[in-house]
């Protein structure tokens, strides 16, 4: 067969396709690659059939095949049951078998060599050795049979003796391997598969499988008995659980091994039947025996307690009672189980549930993967490894002597049947009875203990605990909906219920339904009792308990509600009716009532207590309030109350609920403040106080606004339909700023602004005027002005995004990613630069190598997290390159991309380069696997490497081989096989070159753009890169590095490489290096010959493939650049919430994505002040001011402040939120502020105007002020007449 016809080994491997969503160009390349491979494989199959047709026509002269269809039909009808040995001379055959027998009996360690020799005879010469059933035990250890003189039986007896000896050798190897259990899983499966396939060469499939099943069955029984029964003491349930915890992982490993092995031998149904009978039934039997023993021990213990309790009774009466009780319990009646024993049984049930799920996954993964499990299931004399590579050539089948009913065949589909639940049937009634008692008992004790603590500590807040992470099975509860702190008594109760939950989840059979129903009933009672306790606690606020108890009750109710919803979801899979319907509804109603109560109470406190300030609000006072240097007490206390409420809500409640409550309280309290200040008529001395009060209110509101807005859109562009409360807050603030402008502005500025603007400019209705919600934010000279990048465009700066992110009550991943991508990854650049500064500082200051290594490790962790996250951002492909561009430049790392040589690959290298290399290695892993698979196939075909022990067939044995078989010794074959050397290497090189375009098409767009940007920075000295491009060049270099290092290739593929394969891979490496021009010296003659053979088959094909790969990477990068230059200023500009959400979902579904995001978030939070300082100094320049402060990359365990500290809030508010002394000195730009209110509603403007102190009758005004006031009154306050209009015209 010519080389081109053997291209069928080049099957398409698109493993990396699942790691990225390809674009249009990538899809075109992938589809064209698939189409090309299908055509090549089709032509190869056609040629193979034609060659086979010609060979058959030469051998079988009595039948001539006219077409390939006839050839396929002839193969289907052909019978291989005739024995080739019969064609040999009887004496020669007898002598050959005797020689084999003597060799095995007299020489040691010859079994492996004999097996390979027999397999070589079968594959090379078509010899079919008898494969009849033995009828003897698989575990025979007796010596070889004695040879009888009867010539008719001599051949069969000798062959049976030989294969019995070989079988014993193989079985011993299997058993010793199981006992040692030291190899890796892949090697273990390969070894066992090889042994099973050699046994199938010697014996019928049915017998091999039956005996192997017996061996595995015994192994499972011994494992369970050794791990469990031997260590089980008297009623020691925890030892039982510990035993199964240690044995179940090994059992799952054994099941996985056997599924892989059996998938190449029998069908899926038969494989499942084997697993059922060998493992699952055995486990069930052992479990049944164990539970029976435990029941007996428990009964004896209960009977002993009964006898001790009835000492006064007669001895005969006690004996009769004990015997009757024993008979009573043997019939499956109830006996007592403690809570501890129920927990052990529940934990045991959980282990079996997990094992059941694991076995289901394994069976689906292994038996339903056609590409991996593709095997010829009717072939003997053909060996295959676990990965499916062909080892030895021709087919042989001889099972005609075995009856059909003896074969392990299953006509009907078989499903996994793990009957471990049957072992619990005798315990079901006892568990059902005791689980109700246990739940009621521990729940009542916990509630009673909580009541005692309340009475002993009167007036103290409820005891709270941190809510642990929700169960993995409850993934429907998002982070923003998870309570942070809950009542301790409720946490204790739910923890106990969680422990017993597996008992209810496992009850699918009708015989176990009583356990589930009792569990549901007991849980409902517990839920009702906890709800009553929470209601009682909430009613005690504020007379008997602090306000925090109200928050705690709400958080606890949400926690219980989510838990029982999760229970209902988990158990509802097998139940048609909804579970916990009444408790869930009761909790939902209680949560709504409690949330309303919390909001109402807080608003009522603000309205009736905090904002009632007679001294501060004495507006007619002719004296200034504290010389006009501070705001009202009520405003300051309102600010502290909001801060305390913010702290408590953020600490206790779920983030979403906390934001909802704080938003409503803020909106309703602002409504009160707005209406009050709109009615104020201050004196001259109190006017400045109005201005300071409103400014302080707006500053406090602005600070709270960052916390209640969960997205940039909510902050900048709130929608009335979705964000009604936010819109109302903006509306109230705009009303307050209008009061400040009209009521407190200097009279001259007001007069000049409204002098020529009479009624025709003042609309009658509010609906006629539209104010942007953020107008009030742009009017106050606060820090918020610097947090908006371009106020006119309503775009938020990076500082604003950072403040919005860190103000959230939880790690908002969408907001985090948007912050990282904003303004060309400005925050990421600061993090990278700071980590670089820290490394430099540590190098200067530290002399201990261990400290330096720890710092370097932390830096690497941050860089790896940033690199991984940005490489997953397929919708923002420029982000990775832009973020690392300056870092690569300052660290002088660009040259590392041009020098990914063999010597530097394994050495210590920068983290960015390491991450890039790992990405490229993962992308070419499929190509490497395919090349190694090809090597194994050629190795088997050319009979290389099968003698791993390097034994040679003795000359005495070779002489006895019958001449009719025409066996060619292996040494002669090796000389001939050198002719295929060039063809193998050429095929391997062709596979690599043909795969390059598809590999590049499946790379993530950020990686492609990164290399595109690096190539533009490439020096002219790298001329060898121009032919293929930097990305293609690096891919080939990495493939060459893998081929050069055999350990790396074995680690990536899990395959074992011998010396022959490593030599051939090294030759392929040299050829690839020669193609891309990486080889320093001139190409060797062998290399030239290989490349020339490819060029002869397809001229200019290599160059065209390299150009295609280069063009694909450049075209993809060009499309990326074109799509990303809509706005040069920011790569994240224009991203909608939907786009950000899509990227976050994609990142979280990638390996380690969510963990990397949270790691970056925690580092940002730890360094909040430092990052804010750097952003203020940045000025959007790479040469911004850098701080000497080291960035603390390690996550230090620091306790969260659970109690509200008003003094700390006072210090922070004075410095950050509103500085009262600074407010009094603000230079208000009235000429810019007042024109914005020309469109103010006519009635509102007139009311505010009349509230000015100048409009009062007894106001002390100067002459110029009187003229302006009179003019304003005539224009806006006096009823307009034609006469008054004429008088107005005469005024100057």
Position 184 scores a pLDDT of 65
Lowest mean pLDDT among 96-100, 900-904, 915-919: 900-904
- Burial class from Cβ neighbours inside 10 Å (0-12, 13-18, 19+) for residue 854 reads middle
Q: What are phi and psi of 991, to 5 degrees?
A: -65, -45
Average pLDDT over residues 814-828: 93
Tokens 């992938």 belong to residue: 30
What integer pLDDT is reported at residue 116 of this predicted model? 84
Query: Cβ–Cβ contacts within 10 Å for residue 849, how many?
Result: 8
- Is 381's pLDDT higher than 60? no
- Distance, in Å, from the CA atom of 1233 to the CA atom of 776, rounded to the nearest integer, reads 10
> pTM here?
0.83
**Mean per-residue pLDDT for 16-42?**
67
- Report the chain's terminal Cα–Cα distance, integer Å: 112
The pLDDT assigned to 555 comes to 96
Contact 1217, 639 (CB under 8 A): yes
The candidate with the shortest Cα–Cα distance to 197, out of 369, 388, 372, is 388
Please say if the pLDDT value at position 1183 is more than 70: no
Q: What average pLDDT does the segment 1117-1131 reach?
A: 46
Instruction: Pick the most confident of 394-408, 865-879, 1206-1220.
Output: 865-879
Band (pLDDT 50/70/90 cuts) for residue 1204 is confident
Residue with tokens 């320093």: 1080
pLDDT of residue 448 exceeding 90: yes
Residues 6 or more apart whose Cβ sits within 8 Å of residue 1: 47, 48, 51
Paired with 790 in beta bridges are: 795
**Residue 719 pLDDT > 90:** no
User: Of 207-216, 619-628, 903-912, 1094-1103, where does mean pLDDT reach its minimum?
Assistant: 903-912
Residue 330 has pLDDT above 50, yes or no: no
Top-confidence residue, 328 or 747: 747
> d(Cα 1175, Cα 1158) in Å, to the nearest integer?
21
User: Rounded to whole angstroms, how far apart are CA atoms 56 and 817?
Assistant: 66
| pLDDT at residue 1080 is higher than 50 | yes
Q: Does pLDDT of 1160 surpass 90?
A: yes
DSSP string, 402-443: S-GGGS---SS-------GGGGGHHHHHHHHHHHHHHHHHHH
Q: Per DSSP, what are the bridge partners of residue 465?
A: 486
Residues with Cβ within 8 Å of 1088's Cβ and at least 6 positions away in sequence, in order, are none
The share of the chain scoring above pLDDT 90, in percent, equals 24
Nearest C-alpha neighbor of 397 from the set 91, 79, 816 = 79
Q: Find the mean pLDDT for residues 425-452.
A: 91
| d(C-alpha 1105, C-alpha 1115), whole Å | 15
Give the model's pLDDT for residue 35: 79
Q: Would you say residue 897 has pLDDT above 70?
A: yes
pLDDT band at residue 461, thresholds of 50, 70 and 90? confident
Q: What is the mean pLDDT of residues 336-350?
A: 90
Q: How confident is the model at residue 1291 (pLDDT cuts 50, 70, 90)?
A: very low
What are the C-alpha distances in Å from 662 to residues 482, 588, 607? 17, 20, 16
Average pLDDT, the chain: 77
pLDDT category at 409 given cuts 50, 70, 90 is: very low
Q: Which of the two residues, 1191 and 1222, has the higher pLDDT score? A: 1222
pLDDT of residue 319: 43
What mean pLDDT do residues 858-875 have?
A: 85
Q: How far apart are CA 220 and CA 492, in angstroms?
A: 39
d(CA 636, CA 633): 5
pLDDT at residue 558, rounded to an integer: 96
For the chain, how big is the Rg over CA atoms in Å? 42
Q: How far apart are CA 383 and CA 936, in angstroms?
A: 12
Pairwise CA distance, residues 1291 & 489, whole Å: 80
Q: How confident is the model at residue 549 (pLDDT cuts 50, 70, 90)?
A: very high
The confidence band for 666, taking pLDDT boundaries of 50, 70 and 90, is: very high
The residue with greater pLDDT, 1210 or 881, is 881
DSSP letter at 487 equals: E
Q: Which two tokens stand for residue 177?
A: 């391997």
Is 50 exceeded by the pLDDT of residue 894? yes
Mean of pLDDT values over 217-234: 75
The model's confidence at residue 382, banded by pLDDT at 50, 70 and 90, is very low
pLDDT band of residue 1192 (cuts 50, 70, 90) is low
Eight-state DSSP code of residue 61: T
- Calculate the dihedral angle through the C-alpha atoms of 390, 396, 398, 399, rounding to the nearest 10 degrees: 30
Rounded Cα–Cα distance for residues 517 and 432 (Å): 8
Best-predicted range by mean pLDDT (410-419, 591-600, 1030-1039): 591-600
Q: What is the mean pLDDT of residues 947-966?
A: 74
Judged on CB neighbours under 10 Å (0-12, 13-18, 19+), 675 is exposed
Give the model's confidence band at 1284: pLDDT under 50 very low, under 70 low, under 90 confident, else very high.
very low
* H or E, element range at 1126: none
| pLDDT at site 187 | 73
The three-state secondary structure class of 94 is: helix
Look up residue 384 and give its DSSP letter. Answer: B
């Amino acid at each position: 067969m010519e080389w081109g016809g053997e291209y069928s080994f080049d099957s398409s491997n698109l493993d990396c396709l699942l790691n990225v969503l390809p674009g249009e160009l990538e899809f075109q390349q992938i589809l064209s690659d698939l189409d090309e491979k299908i055509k090549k494989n089709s032509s190869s199959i056609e040629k193979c059939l034609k060659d086979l047709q010609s060979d058959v026509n030469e051998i079988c002269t009595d039948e001539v095949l006219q077409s390939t269809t006839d050839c396929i039909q002839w193969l289907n009808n052909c019978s291989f049951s005739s024995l080739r040995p019969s064609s040999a001379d009887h004496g020669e055959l007898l002598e050959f078998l005797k020689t084999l027998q003597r060799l095995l009996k007299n020489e040691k360690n010859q079994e492996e060599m004999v097996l390979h020799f027999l397999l070589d005879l079968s594959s090379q010469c078509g010899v079919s050795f008898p494969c009849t059933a033995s009828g003897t035990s698989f575990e025979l250890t007796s010596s070889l049979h004695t040879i009888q003189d009867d010539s008719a039986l001599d051949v069969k007896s000798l062959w049976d003796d030989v294969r019995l000896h070989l079988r014993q050798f193989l079985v011993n190897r299997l058993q010793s391997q199981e006992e040692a259990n030291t190899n890796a899983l892949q090697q273990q499966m390969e070894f066992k598969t090889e042994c099973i396939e050699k046994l199938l060469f010697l014996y019928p499939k049915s017998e091999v499988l039956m005996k192997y099943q017996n061996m595995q069955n015994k192994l499972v029984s011994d494992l369970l008995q050794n791990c469990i029964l031997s260590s089980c003491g008297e009623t020691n349930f925890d030892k039982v659980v510990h035993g199964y915890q240690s044995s179940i992982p090994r059992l799952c490993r054994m099941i996985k091994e056997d599924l892989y092995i059996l998938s190449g031998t029998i069908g899926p149904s038969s494989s499942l039947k084997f697993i059922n009978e060998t493992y699952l039934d055995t486990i069930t039997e052992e479990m049944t025996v164990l539970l029976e023993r435990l029941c007996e021990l428990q009964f004896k213990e209960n009977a002993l307690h009964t006898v001790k309790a009835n000492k006064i009774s007669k001895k005969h009466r006690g004996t009769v009672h004990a015997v009757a009780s024993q008979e009573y319990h043997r019939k499956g009646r109830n006996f007592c189980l403690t809570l501890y024993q129920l927990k052990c049984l529940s934990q045991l049930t959980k282990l079996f549930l997990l094992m059941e799920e694991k076995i289901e996954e394994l069976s689906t993964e292994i038996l339903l993967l056609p590409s991996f499990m593709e095997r010829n299931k009717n072939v003997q004399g053909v060996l295959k490894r676990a990965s499916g590579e062909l080892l030895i050539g021709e087919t042989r089948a001889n099972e005609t002597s075995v009856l059909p009913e003896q074969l392990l065949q299953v006509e009907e589909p078989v499903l996994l049947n793990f009957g471990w639940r049957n072992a619990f049937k005798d315990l079901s009634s006892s568990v059902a009875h005791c689980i109700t008692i246990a739940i009621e008992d521990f729940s009542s004790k916990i509630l009673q203990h909580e009541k005692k603590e309340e009475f002993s500590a009167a007036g103290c807040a409820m005891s709270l605990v941190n809510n642990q992470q929700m169960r993995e099975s409850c993934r429907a509860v998002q982070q923003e909906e998870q309570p942070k702190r809950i009542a301790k008594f409720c946490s204790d109760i739910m923890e106990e219920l969680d422990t017993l939950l597996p008992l209810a989840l496992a009850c699918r059979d009708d015989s176990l339904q009583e356990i589930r129903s009792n569990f549901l009933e007991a849980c409902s009672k517990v839920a009702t009792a906890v709800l009553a306790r929470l209601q009682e606690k909430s009613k005690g606020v504020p007379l008997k308990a602090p306000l925090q108890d109200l928050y705690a009750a709400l958080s606890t109710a949400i926690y219980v509600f989510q838990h029982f919803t999760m229970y209902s979801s988990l158990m509802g899979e097998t139940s048609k009716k909804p579970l916990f319907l009444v408790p869930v509804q009761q909790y939902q109603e209680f949560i709504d009532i409690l949330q309303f109560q919390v909001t109402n109470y807080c608003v009522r406190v603000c309205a009736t207590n905090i904002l009632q300030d007679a001294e501060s609000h004495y507006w007619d006072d002719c004296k200034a309030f504290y010389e006009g240097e501070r705001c009202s007490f009520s405003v300051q206390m309102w600010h502290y109350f909001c801060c305390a409420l913010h702290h408590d809500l953020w600490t206790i409640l779920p983030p979403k609920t906390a934001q909802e409550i704080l938003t409503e309280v803020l909106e309703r309290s602002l409504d009160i403040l707005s209406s009050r200040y709109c009615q104020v008529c201050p004196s001259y001395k109190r006017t400045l106080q109005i201005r300071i009060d409103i400014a302080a209110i707006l500053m406090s509101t602005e600070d709270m606004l960052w916390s209640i807005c969960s997205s940039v859109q909510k902050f900048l562009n709130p929608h009335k339909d979705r964000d009604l409360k936010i819109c109302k807050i903006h509306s109230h603030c705009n009303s307050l700023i209008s009061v400040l402008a009209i009521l407190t502005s200097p009279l001259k500025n007001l007069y000049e602004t409204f002098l020529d603007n009479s009624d025709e400019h003042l609309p009658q209705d509010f609906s006629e005027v539209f104010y942007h919600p953020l107008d009030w934010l742009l009017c106050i000279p606060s820090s918020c002005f610097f947090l908006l990048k371009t106020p006119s465009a309503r775009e938020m700066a990076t500082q604003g995004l950072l403040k919005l992110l860190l103000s959230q009550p939880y790690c908002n991943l969408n907001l985090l990613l948007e912050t990282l991508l904003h303004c060309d990854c400005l925050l990421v650049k600061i993090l990278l630069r700071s980590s670089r500064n820290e490394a430099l500082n540590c190098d200067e200051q530290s002399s201990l190598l261990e400290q330096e290594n720890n710092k370097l490790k932390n830096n690497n962790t941050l860089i790896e997290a940033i690199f991984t996250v940005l490489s997953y951002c397929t919708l923002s492909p420029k982000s990775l390159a832009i973020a690392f561009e300056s870092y690569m430049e300052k660290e002088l790392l660009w040259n590392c991309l041009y020098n990914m040589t063999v010597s530097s690959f394994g050495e210590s290298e920068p983290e960015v380069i390491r991450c890039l290399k790992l990405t490229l290695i993962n992308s070419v892993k499929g190509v490497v696997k395919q090349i190694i698979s090809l090597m194994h196939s050629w190795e088997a075909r050319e009979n290389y490497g099968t003698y791993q022990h390097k034994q040679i067939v003795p000359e005495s044995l070779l002489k006895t081989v019958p001449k009719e078989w025409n066996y060619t010794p292996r040494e002669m074959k090796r000389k001939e096989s050198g002719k295929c050397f060039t063809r193998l290497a050429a095929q391997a090189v062709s596979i690599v070159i043909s795969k390059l375009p598809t590999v590049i098409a499946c790379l993530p767009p950020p990686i492609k753009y990164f290399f595109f940007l690096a190539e533009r920075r490439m020096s002219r000295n790298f001329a060898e890169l121009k032919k293929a491009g930097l990305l293609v060049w690096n891919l080939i270099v990495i493939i060459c590095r893998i081929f050069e290092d055999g350990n790396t290739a074995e680690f990536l593929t899990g395959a074992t490489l011998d010396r022959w394969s490593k030599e051939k891979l090294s030759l392929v490496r040299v050829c690839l290096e020669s193609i891309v021009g990486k080889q320093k010296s001139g190409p060797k003659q062998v290399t030239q010959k290989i490349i020339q053979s490819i060029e002869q088959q397809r001229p200019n094909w290599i160059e065209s493939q390299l150009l295609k790969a280069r063009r694909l990477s450049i075209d993809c990068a060009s499309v990326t650049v074109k799509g990303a230059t809509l706005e040069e200023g920011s790569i994240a500009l224009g991203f909608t919430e939907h786009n950000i959400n899509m990227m976050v979902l994609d990142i979280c579904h990638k390996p380690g994505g969510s963990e990397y995001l949270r790691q970056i978030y925690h580092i940002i939070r730890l360094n909040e002040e430092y990052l804010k300082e750097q952003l203020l100094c940045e000025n959007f320049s790479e040469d911004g001011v850098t701080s000497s402060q080291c960035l603390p990359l390690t996550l230090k365990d620091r306790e969260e402040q659970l109690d509200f500290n008003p003094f700390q809030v006072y210090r922070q508010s004075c410095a950050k939120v509103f500085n009262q002394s600074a407010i009094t000195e603000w230079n208000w730009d009235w000429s810019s502020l007042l024109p914005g209110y020309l469109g103010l509603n006519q009635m509102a403007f007139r009311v505010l105007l009349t509230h000015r102190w100048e409009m009062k009758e007894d106001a002390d005004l100067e002459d110029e002020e009187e003229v302006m006031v009179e003019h304003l009154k005539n224009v806006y306050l006096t009823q307009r007449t034609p006469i008054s209009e004429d008088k107005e015209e005469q005024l100057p």
